[in-house]
Structure 1
Amino acid sequence: MANGQKDNETARKEGTGRHALITGASAGIGKDLAEVFARSGFDLVLVARREKRLHEIARDLEHRFAVTVHAVTLDLSEPGAAEWLHNEMRMRGLNIDALVCNAGFGVAGFYRDTSWADQHALCQVMMTGVAELCHRFAPDMGARGYGRILNVASLAGFLPPAPGGTLYIPAKAFEIKLSQALALEYTGENVHVTALCPGFTYTEFHDVMGTRAAMSSMPRFMWMKSMRVAEEGYKAVMQGKPVHIPGRLNRFIAWLAWALPSPAVNAILRRQALYAKKP
């Protein structure tokens, strides 16, 4: 039997009789993570705002991988959404064995020029919501002796703050630190917590942000396909890595951000801010 076949059978056994809940599952990395978990034998709970798209994905995964997929339409920016979701899973009798917090977005423009409603929604989805979902689901996992939590952060979480998109980098840094802390907290309980930190990835994110043209000017070698990111994220959380940065180039960028002297970095960022303010 080929090694690939053995790996697939092992992965399928991992998910047998288990459920994975994935937020932001209607596109991009979240959609591909849903496929990876389904391929590995997990039944799924997919959560996103786009109802029609979510149900299309659910039907496709059920057909291709013979798993059960529950589609839950939910806006995670609404206060109380995480509590409702946890209660809903209990009412349906679904034990969540793997939690993937992938939902997220950015708010383009300078902080002062954006609405607080948009900034508050970002905080709710990418910080408060992630923290609450982990707080509600992780103890159940610990009690059952099995759990996998994958928080989709970003390479940006390792980088210095930049002008525009002001809260995005702090939010991603928060997800990384939260994941590291929880990984330590659940040591020895067979509950793995991982922050997945992709760099430039081909998804709809830049279309939503209105930055597709700018991002398209970046060299192609800097980009990764979202399925590769998803597969690496799945492997990392199964292996119990607290943090995983896909791609050698991205790992080098993270190291460079750590290694460069702060005054030099700040000088570069100040020049970038001044350039961005020019009409």
Structure 2
Amino acid sequence: MASSPQDLGPVLDKDGVRLTVDDAIATVTLTNPAKRNAQSPALWRALAEAGQLLPGSVRVVVLRGEGKSFSAGLDRQMLSPEGIPGEPSFVDLARSDDAALDAAIAGYQDAFTWWRRNDIVSIAAVQGHAIGAGFQLALACDLRIVADDVQFAMRETSLGLVPDLTGTHPLVGLVGYARALEICATGRFVTAEEAVTIGLANLAVPAADLDGAVQDLAAALLAAPRDAVIETKALLRGAPGRTYDEQRGAERAAQARRLRDLAGLGE
């Protein structure tokens, strides 16, 4: 039986983020339940570092949040005129020149980009609130299993902002343009039942069963040969940007690589 995340020595444990590794499965845990795992630039830097520290043995990464909420979004202190001590406030960012402002946001986005690497499959285990940045962090993962108490909401637009932490692309891909626009522009809650119905979540389970459901999915993913999963993920991720004939060609090239590898003829 695999160890629980709490039983393993952390590879990383700082700024509200803990990374543990158990052979082929890594677990990234948001560890500030008292603030409903609110997000800050320090947390984003720690998340980006977690991605850099993943050993090559890892095939599945599980993202979870301690407590009753996955992540309730931005730390509200970020929205105050003073901001978080040691970090640029929104006013500071607004006063930056174009290059500095773009670089700052790009740095924040680094926490959200590595989850879709072709060499891993990432699973978000989402319970309670997943608001704004929390919603976008769940969207950064390949797959989402949700507890039946989950409440997704994209609140940036209601604050006069836009979702800028890489969430718009996967949201449109999952639920379509019209539904994504409605969810973002209204800021309304999306429940577990609706999330499954519209393709936002793969599965909804009772909150008490969330960890077990994630473990079952991770085990199923690990049952397939790693290189075949990597090639398949790359094919599926690239499909929206290819024509039908281009995708056929990509399938042929990927299968040729697999056949030669299985025959011992790979490079």
- TM-score, with length taken from structure 1: 0.32
Q: Which structure has the higher relative contact order (CA within 8 Å, separation 6+)?
A: 1
- TM-score, with length taken from structure 2: 0.33
Comparing both structures, which one devotes a greater share of its residues to helix?
A: 1
